[in-house]
Structure 1
Amino acid sequence: MDSRAISTAFLVNFLLLSAASAFNVTKLLGQFPDFTNFNDLLTQTKLADEINSRLTLTVLALDNGAVSSLSGKPLDVVKRILSVHVLLDYYDTKKIATLASDSTSVLTTLFQTTGIAMNQQGFLKVTLTNEGEVAFGSAVKGAQAESKLVRSVAAQPYNISVLQITSPIQVPGIDSKPGHSTPLAPPPKASAPVQSPKKAPAPAAKSPSKADAPASPSPNPAADSPASSPPKPAADSPDATDDDDSDAAAPGPSDDSGASSGRFIGAATVLAVISSFLAL
């Protein structure tokens, strides 16, 4: 390899290294005391390293007063919020004002490259207010554009631009953990199955007895009181049947037949006595 080829290879490597480290955002912001806190957060969250690894972008910076509203938040949440303030293209004040005049302008941010942005969280919309000011807001539906452009802080044309805005850009849901969803309410405890009421057992059939028999005679006394023999109806009773009549007419031993025999014997004795007196 001749010296010319070596020199060419060295120059290419130098240009690549120079392009890869075209700027250092920490050093750039370090020149402005008003952005010390913002610069520190870029270092703590390691966003400075990601910014410095890119060739072209715009940083929407917050001064010490505006960035204080992020104090107390977890560092991972701060990183997500600040990554929305890094635009993946070069915008100076003139170019951004031109975009703001088009109400449909949407800008891509560094947060979109993380893979955890949801529902347009990784995009910003830029508009003009009624007063003609440039305002930034989240592209999430319903979000308001309330962060206004203040001024240009620093620029290295077509590599990095630092623009100051009035307040942090509010992105709905960005404070939540990635992939985090509100837990469902625990299902209600299953109540014990309602048992159908058991049928009461049928009462055991009671054997008929005299005590249970009705006081008044029934049309069928034999069926009502099988334990006792049914009384026979009198011969002159209207309820008697033909069979009952035949039974009543049949002769049988009774007290009346005995009395008749006594009377017959007495009469015969009287006749014998009379005959004996006549014979005399």
Structure 2
Amino acid sequence: MGAIRFALFRLLAAIPTLLLVIAIAFLMVHAAPGGPFDEERRLPLEIEANIAAAYHLDESLPEQFWRYLSGLAEGDLGPSYRYREYRVAELIGAAIPVSLALGAIAMLLALLVGVGGGIAAALAHGSRRDRIISALAMSGISLPVFVIAPALVLLFAVYLGVLPASWSGADGGVSRYVLPVFALALPQVAYITRLTRASMIEVMNSDFIRTARAQGLRTASVVRHHALKPAMLPLLSYMGPAIAGILTGSVVVEQIFGIPGLGQLFVRAALNRDYTLVLGSVIFYATLVILLNLLVDMLYGFLDPRIRQR
């Protein structure tokens, strides 16, 4: 029951945050120059007025915002201004599976490689292996996604020719996931490696680890049964920002590789001043980050008994 109350409290506390995000996004998209129905060839004033009235764009901003919140309370994200035969929920629903698949695979890869690399570096603290892993991790932190992605395309698609350079250029198999996933995962691998290394070094120097070693346990057994769980607590706290980084990074990666995901949909909506589609994308991203942070907090409580007792 305690966990349920905690989850409900956090969800209720997240509602004001989500409303603030929606309000800021609403004001920003309406403050941008141009409009969703601006064309190179200007329409007659009568037609513009009819279109604005049909989409309630002739109302004041407070009236539009209240109308949008009223529809949102009923689960309606509204119609798309650019793709007029579709609702926003339909467009986002079609793009979500691709983006979530990329993000999930990239996060899993980052965890496997980052945790493994961090443990390997910590157990060889001060050695050549530790210095090499730390140098590689620092290099990964220094390189942003918009540099890593073109470099991967240049190496593996242009020079070596072993992987497709774009999503549409693949044969529909797993090969089209490889470069985007690596572009998303590599920066997070670097952060997770350094965080795991620092946490593992601290835990391995703790008194309870010295006691376990004094009992004659092997290093592998000490790490697996005693050190790994407390060493993962700082990493678990980082998972919320890490997932947010994967999500925001997917906007750049999907543009570079031409992936029909939510990131590319968001960029096109912003360029087209498709107000409702931009707002729907922002709401999805914000809700996902809030829910994932809630999940991280709950997992933290399971791993740390002190949190459960509180």
Instruction: Give the TM-score normalised by structure 1.
Output: 0.18
- Name the structure where strand makes up a greater proportion of residues: 1
| Structure possessing the higher relative contact order (Cα contacts under 8 Å, 6 or more residues apart) | 2
Q: Which has the larger radius of gyration?
A: 1
Instruction: Give the TM-score normalised by structure 2.
Output: 0.17
